Structure 1
Amino acid sequence: MIRLGLTGSIGMGKSTTAAMFAGAGVPVWDADAAVHRLYAPGGEAVEPMRAAFPAAVTDHVSRPALKALLAADPTQLVRIEGIVHPLVAEDRERFQPQADLVVFDIPLLFERDIAMDVTLLVTAPHALQRTRVLARPGMTEDTFDLILSRQMPDRDKRARADHVIETLEMDATRLQVQALIRYLCSHA
C-alpha cells in the first residue's frame, strides 16, 4: 500500500482534489473530518477538552467557543493542539483500508512532519487562493492572514513535495489526479 500525503495551504483546492481521488475509488482519510468526529458528541476529544476548556464543551466541543477563546488568548492554541493532535494521529493510524493507494488529506502534513510514502502538494497563485478563501462564509482578511501565518509558505511546501498539482481549472486538475493515480498504482 502506498500512503499518499495530500497537503496544501488553505484555499488551494485540497478538499476538491481529495474528492477527485475518492471519486476514482481511492480511499481517503481526512484530518478535518477526524477532528469533527473527535469533537462530536461521544467523540474522544470531548472529555479531555472539557477538562481543559469547560466553557467550550457541552455534549460536544464547540468550534465557535474555541474560536472565541483563541481570539481572547491565542496562546491557548498550544494546549488545544496538545490534546487534539495525538487523537488525530491515533485516528489516522486506525485507517487501514485494503488498497494499493490510500490518500491522507492532511493540511499540516509538512508542518507536523508526518511520514508518508509519497507527498502531493496542491497549489494555486496567491490571488486565486485569497479569492477562494475570502468567498467562504464568515471569513475575514484577518482570519485568513492568521491561518496563513501558521502554515508553511507555499514555496517551502513545493520544495518538500514529491508531486505538485496546480488547481487552476477543474478538468485539468482531474486529469492530473488520474495520471498520478495511474503512475502510483503502477509502482505499488
Structure 2
Amino acid sequence: MTLRLGLTGSIGMGKSTTAQMFRDEGVPVWDADATVHDLYSKDGDAVQAIAAVFPTAVIENIVSRDALKTLIAADPAVIGQLEKVVHPLVADSRLKFLANHNDPLVVFDIPLLFETGADEWLDAVLVVTAPADVQRSRVMDRPGMTEQQFQTILSRQTPDAEKRERADHIIETLTLDDTRTAVRNLIAELKGQSDARNRT
C-alpha cells in the first residue's frame, strides 16, 4: 500500500526546492500547480470547459491567467465558478498519478493543501517553513514582486503557525544541505512505516 505524503508551505518557504529533493531521491511527486498549468495550456483538458463559462479567459485555445485575474478582480465569485470546473479535472489527474505509481511513498505537492481540505485524504502532511524574515527576503527577491502582492498572497494562505500546528512533519529550509538531510531522513522513516503497514 502506498503512503501518500502531502507537501505544503507558504510562499517563500522552499516548497518547490524540497519537492525537487524528493524527486532526486526517486520519490514520485505529483505537482498541483503543474497540473493546473497543463490543464490551462493549449488544448488542455480545462480549456473548453472554461471557455464555456468565461469566454474572454480563453485566447487561441489557451486559458489566460491574466484574463482570469481580471475577471476575479471584478467579481470574486468567479473563483468559486472556476473551482467547480477545475477541481474535478485536478482530482482526475491525481487519481491517474496514484494508479500509475505503486511505490511505497509518493508525494503530493499542494500549495493550498489545508485550504482545500486535502489533508483529509492524505496519510501524512509535511510542512516546510522558515523564519518570517527569511521568507520575506526570498519572496521580495522575486522579479516583479511587490509588497502588496506579497500581502495579498499571504492573506489567501493558512498562516504558517497554523500549518505547523496541523503538520505531521516539519522541515525548516534554512540551508540546502540541512533540508536535503531532513528529506532523506523523512523518506527513510516513511518508507519504513509503509513497509510495516504492508506486512500487517
The corresponding residue for 1:104 is 108
Deviation at 1:11, TM superposition (A): 1.1
Could you tell me which residue of structure 2 aligns to residue 118 of structure 1? Answer: 124
Per-residue CA distance 1:52-92 (angstroms, 9 max, x = gap): 21111021101122122223333322222222122212211
The separation in 1 between residues aligned to 2:56 and 2:42, in whole angstroms, is 15
Aligned to 2:76: 74
Could you state the TM-score of these two structures normalised by the residue count of structure 2?
A: 0.90
> How large is the Cα RMSD of the aligned pairs?
1.2
For residue 90 of structure 1, what is the aligned residue in structure 2?
A: 92
Q: TM-score, normalised by structure 1?
A: 0.95
1:41-52 aligned at under 5 Å gives the runs 41-52=42-53
1:133 to 133, 136, 139: 139
Deviation at 1:100, TM superposition (A): 0.7
SS of residue matched to 1:168: coil
1:176 paired residue among 178, 182, 198 = 182
Moved more, 156-165 or 73-82: 73-82
Q: CA deviation at 1:101?
A: 0.5
Q: 2:140 and 2:69 mapped to 1: Cα distance?
A: 18
Determine the structure 1 residue equivalent to 2:158: 152
Secondary structure at the aligned position of 1:12 is classed as: coil
Q: Which runs of 5+ in 1 are unaligned?
A: none
Counterpart residue number, 1:7 = 8
Q: Distance in 1 between matches of 2:45 and 2:144?
A: 28
* Sequence identity percentage: 59
**2: CA distance between counterparts of 1:57 and 1:70?**
14
Match of 1:95, SS state, is helix
Q: CA deviation at 1:51?
A: 1.3
Q: Letter of the aligned partner of 1:88 in structure 2?
A: V
Q: Which residues of 2 match residues 8-47 of structure 1 at below 5 A?
A: 8-47=9-48
**In structure 2, what is the Cα distance between the partners aligned to 1:77 and 1:143?**
18
1:124-158 Cα distance to aligned partner (Å, 9 max, x none):
11121122122222222112111111111111111
Q: Secondary structure at the match of 1:29?
A: strand
Gaps in structure 2 of 5+ consecutive residues: 195-200
Output the amino acid matched with 1:185: K
Larger Cα-atom Rg: 2
Q: Give the Å deviation of 1:161.
A: 0.5
Q: In structure 1, which of residues 152, 165, 169 is the aligned counterpart of residue 171 of structure 2?
A: 165
**Aligned-partner SS, 1:104:** strand
